[in-house]
Structure 1
Amino acid sequence: ATSAELGDNVSDMDASIEGEAIEVAFNAKYLIDVLSIVETPQFILETSSPSSPGVFRPVGDDDFTHVIMPMHIQGR
């Protein structure tokens, strides 16, 4: 992610992937927002393509769902 005001960052996370691997980018602020309010060490991310919404759910909590639209990755 790149921001003229804040700089840029690329981060990798450990993941268990079911299905075909894809490269997807989300705004870090939106990820921090959701991760800061849910107190679980593991999340499920469901998406079907790099341009489809990411559906975030904490493992073991069926009452919480958070949707984040992905960012366009330049050159892809």
Structure 2
Amino acid sequence: MDDLTRVDLEIVLPREGFAPDSYRLYGGFGAGECYVLDHGPAGWEVYYSERGTKGGLRVFRTEGEACGYFLDLLRRDPTTRQRR
């Protein structure tokens, strides 16, 4: 999964049924609690946004590493799925 990109995630995440408000692919804190992928000065950041904080911040050298980790986080958290 090291070649996964944000563009790939834009396709994969809706297809797998993730709720759009459970993640952000281009930074920011969202309108509540959500997983965030961002590219900052230190590298590719993945974190959980909660009350304006970056919880569980991890920084990766490559986009592929960050996107793979991001997708894994979402898949392991059942609260990220859309309710039917």
Q: TM-score, normalised by structure 1?
A: 0.28
If each structure's strand is expressed as a fraction of its own residues, which one has the higher value? 2
Higher relative contact order (CA closer than 8 Å, sequence separation 6+): 2
Q: TM-score, normalised by structure 2?
A: 0.27
Q: Which structure has the bigger radius of gyration?
A: 1
